[in-house]
Structure 1
């Protein structure tokens, strides 16, 4: 695709440069009437480009073509990285039935900790990863994490015992801590709020491609490599997936820019549009200064804890199935080892298709009420859990098993809420950290619900899934009511002030939190 867009008007060739802009705005009256004093260092990075786009009039046709270009250049890269991430995480589920546990003399309890140790590393380093992403160039940090991730993945093949394998899993978890926060920040930089749910569903759902690819590679290695080999199939599996990850890490270094105005594939007019679009988001590109008041607000905001609770309830089933999915298909559903690998592939297809499909329906039918869409999908997971837990026919239990994969839509939606509804760069990093801490803790708990004494049915694990999905639906319903109440309060206040209210200049680039900025409205 060409790096320029045809426009009815002449494309502006004036370079978008970093200029020293003295903010006219020095104080802001917050939503609750508090006077906030602003210093030059408080502003978003996008302010230094604001003067270039200040008088820009957005042409809807041109903007539509720009969004299409961004979709072609940014979304596929994030989607591919997300696919690699999912493929790498689920290697254990396939390796376990390819001889991993036997070759490393792993007990059932040790294998249970294989899944939990990954998320232990993720949990401990989640906040430091967020701080590094805030202070250092985003694409460079992401690339470094991906490259180290690929190297550590290949090191799994050299493990000779459970201890070294658990160490590799912990290290792998540390570097995954950079991935999802980076994707969320990229989405908030490049897209307007009403565009983010669709895009997040796309890149989050693309993890299904990783499931499909991982299952295909594992099945090929298991069925085609007959006889004795110097290198076991499961070891070769880790090497292949590690090499794929390394290659994509190198490509991402040259492909993904740190901020939109440095994008190699945009012309100067495109870049000015990106700045103006970020102004409409009331957010911008980010601020590298850690702000203690924003951290305190994040801890006081009930949304932070609802985001945590939802991530926890999503991740308990997710952590169990990522590590025991193939084992469950093998032992409980009585599929052969090869069949168990292939039976994971429909779940990958569901991941790819359902999240974008729900996002489209949400836009056309529910008029962008994404939390309502997420609650409905989560209730579908409740139905799936009931079928898996309480029915006997193999067909109904398998239907229930696959319905659980639709929960990816809700996790994508929650990531888009952190991206679009949480403002203030420090607060966004903090709430994103809580979100992923819940995700980590749930993924640590999930494998522990699969007790060897309950094999092959694992009734305790299935019950834990059912309870988790019910609690998750409640958390999202409460979040919807809070956001709706806050929007109503702001609208009422605006009406009361009438003509006295004037939109402050460059308030979008003041790096204010969502609780401070009177211009911000929450997307429901």
Structure 2
């Protein structure tokens, strides 16, 4: 038997027995939101973590035990998320490598056809973004993610069977539809397993580790290019590239299905005590494990929150350069900088290395020197990338232009920051699903636009588009920082003014309230 009591002069009690909610349909509770509105809660529709709240109530985790648990979670989950994320980027950059290995010639692609190789992927990504994210909310997360990854790998292998540009582009659309669920799934997993203050570093790891996908893809491509060449084989090298990457993806998909639990309390690698610790650890997140019901009120709040639109425009501002570099990076190195095809493939190792090393380094610096203000770190890094784009656009020395080119890969740390912001600063399962969709729709739109800016060499229009994009992105990040800081200050002032009248509502963190509804919620800066 457990009582849940709320603040102010409104008191209400609900009986919980055996993890089920007694007479829940008839029990409504009221919480006063930060803006003074009364929020009614149906306790039959709370977060899944509420079922385990009693068992984890009042638990204090010994510091050494918490460190041990955190290491166990990191070792169990980060490698599989990182592996899937690496496949994500390896798949996207494969077309860029394949273009140097005879793809365009073998499929009789025109320059316009090839620009649509990049954009068509994100058409599928755009159209299926919301359905795929809803799928992740409605169904067990691990099962949905693993199934999608296996299908995604199968579609990737089918690229090797195409005989013309139209068929290849059609497969890119289908591939984008499946891949639209990947990053939202990683964001949901991050919010389930790690505390707010831990999420930036973990996001930096799984976002940054995509550089391994660049390294692996570039390595496979370089090996195929140098040992098999572009011609002289009945089965072309670029086709073999798609088969190899597809097989790797399918294997990781099956591992994900078996290995990743749907929620932390079902984790096969945790004992009963550690499962209670996991529930206790996430209380301060003011979020639980999720809720499988789509709540239209939360969807409406997502569309009325100005932060959602800022995230949309940031996603687009990052993705315009990303779509350009993903599909035209090696081509730009070859045609604009004068490297040979083989040298251009090797230069991709530099970008991959920056992807792997730089984001965790930024997270470490952020924690040590910036008080863990992740958005402040993102603003600084994005400004540095903006300067790099100025070097790429306005200098003539090959070394300075190349330095500007490689600063793009530093923006991966900013992408990781925004992923952690969506994970930690958006509460309410349906609102999180919707805001995640809005953000990745912006990301998809930007990736559709990016390749279209590459018209004719030396691609000056594309370079200017990348410069403007990072300027807009820096403005978006600054706006988010100011908005979240203002909201936190207002909540702290309200709590201070209430004095002794303010009481912490018991178990409010597991009621699936949104960040705007929950008076205890604070935004990570």
TM-score, with normalisation over the residues of structure 1?
Answer: 0.95
Aligned-pair CA distance for 1:97: 0.9
Give the structure 1 partner of residue 171 of structure 2. Answer: 168
Give the structure 2 partner of residue 474 of structure 1. Answer: 475
Aligned-pair CA distance for 1:21: 4.4
Aligned-pair CA distance for 1:291: 0.6
User: Is the CA contact (8 Å cut-off) linking 1:295 and 1:430 kept in structure 2?
Assistant: yes
Give the structure 1 partner of residue 107 of structure 2. Answer: 104
Please point out which of 44, 57, 61 is paired with 2:60: 57
Give the structure 1 partner of residue 210 of structure 2. Answer: 207
Please point out which of 119, 137, 145 is paired with 1:142: 145
User: Is the CA contact (8 Å cut-off) linking 2:28 and 2:43 kept in structure 1?
Assistant: no
Counterpart Cα distance in 2 of 1:313 and 1:466? 10
Please point out which of 237, 251, 265 is paired with 2:241: 237
Please point out which of 287, 294, 314 is paired with 2:291: 287
Please point out which of 126, 130, 133 is paired with 1:130: 133
Counterpart Cα distance in 2 of 1:296 and 1:121? 25
Secondary structure class of the residue paired with 1:343: helix
Counterpart Cα distance in 2 of 1:90 and 1:228? 24
Find out whether 1:261 has 2:257 as its counterpart. no
Give the structure 2 partner of residue 435 of structure 1. Answer: 439
User: Is the CA contact (8 Å cut-off) linking 2:359 and 2:413 kept in structure 1?
Assistant: yes
Aligned-pair CA distance for 1:236: 0.4
Give the structure 1 partner of residue 382 of structure 2. Answer: 378
- Post-superposition Cα deviations, 1:423-445, rounded to whole Å, max 9, x if no partner, equal 00100000000110010000000
Find out whether 1:246 has 2:226 as its counterpart. no
Counterpart Cα distance in 2 of 1:508 and 1:28? 12
- How many aligned positions are there? 505
Counterpart Cα distance in 1 of 2:396 and 2:310? 35
User: Is the CA contact (8 Å cut-off) linking 1:45 and 1:287 kept in structure 2?
Assistant: yes
Q: CA 1:161/1:481 → structure 2, altered by over 3 Å: closer, same or farther?
A: same
Please point out which of 400, 410, 413 is paired with 2:404: 400
Aligned-pair CA distance for 1:242: 0.4
Aligned-pair CA distance for 1:40: 2.2
Give the structure 2 partner of residue 418 of structure 1. Answer: 422
- Post-superposition Cα deviations, 1:366-414, rounded to whole Å, max 9, x if no partner, equal 0111111000000111111011111111111111111111011111100
Counterpart Cα distance in 2 of 1:161 and 1:142? 31
Counterpart Cα distance in 2 of 1:25 and 1:33? 18
Find out whether 1:157 has 2:163 as its counterpart. no
Unaligned runs of 5+ in 1: 1-16
Aligned-pair CA distance for 1:25: 7.9
User: Is the CA contact (8 Å cut-off) linking 1:18 and 1:49 kept in structure 2?
Assistant: no
Counterpart Cα distance in 2 of 1:410 and 1:398? 21
- Of 223-232 and 150-159, the range deviating more from structure 2: 223-232
User: Is the CA contact (8 Å cut-off) linking 2:21 and 2:44 kept in structure 1?
Assistant: no
Please point out which of 304, 309, 324 is paired with 1:300: 304
5 Å-filtered alignment, 1:170-189, equals: 170-189=173-192
Find out whether 1:512 has 2:516 as its counterpart. no
Aligned CA-pair RMSD: 1.2
Aligned-pair CA distance for 1:194: 0.7
Give the structure 2 partner of residue 271 of structure 1. Answer: 275
Counterpart Cα distance in 1 of 2:452 and 2:227? 33
- Of 378-387 and 36-45, the range deviating more from structure 2: 36-45
TM-score, with normalisation over the residues of structure 2?
Answer: 0.95
Find out whether 1:366 has 2:383 as its counterpart. no
Aligned-pair CA distance for 1:58: 2.2
- Post-superposition Cα deviations, 1:176-231, rounded to whole Å, max 9, x if no partner, equal 11100000000000001111001001000011000000000000000011562110
5 Å-filtered alignment, 1:487-502, equals: 487-502=488-503
User: Is the CA contact (8 Å cut-off) linking 1:44 and 1:287 kept in structure 2?
Assistant: yes
Give the structure 1 partner of residue 74 of structure 2. Answer: 71
Aligned-pair CA distance for 1:55: 2.8
Give the structure 1 partner of residue 83 of structure 2. Answer: 80
The runs of at least 4 aligned residues of structure 1 exceeding 6 Å deviation read: none
Give the structure 1 partner of residue 13 of structure 2. Answer: none
User: Is the CA contact (8 Å cut-off) linking 1:127 and 1:430 kept in structure 2?
Assistant: yes
Find out whether 1:19 has 2:19 as its counterpart. yes
Counterpart Cα distance in 1 of 2:520 and 2:487? 12
Secondary structure class of the residue paired with 1:354: helix
Counterpart Cα distance in 1 of 2:113 and 2:79? 37
Find out whether 1:39 has 2:61 as its counterpart. no
- Post-superposition Cα deviations, 1:126-180, rounded to whole Å, max 9, x if no partner, equal 0001111000000111011100110000000000001100011001100011100
- Post-superposition Cα deviations, 1:490-521, rounded to whole Å, max 9, x if no partner, equal 00000111100111111000100000101011
Aligned-pair CA distance for 1:59: 1.8
Unaligned runs of 5+ in 2: 1-16
Give the structure 2 partner of residue 460 of structure 1. Answer: 461
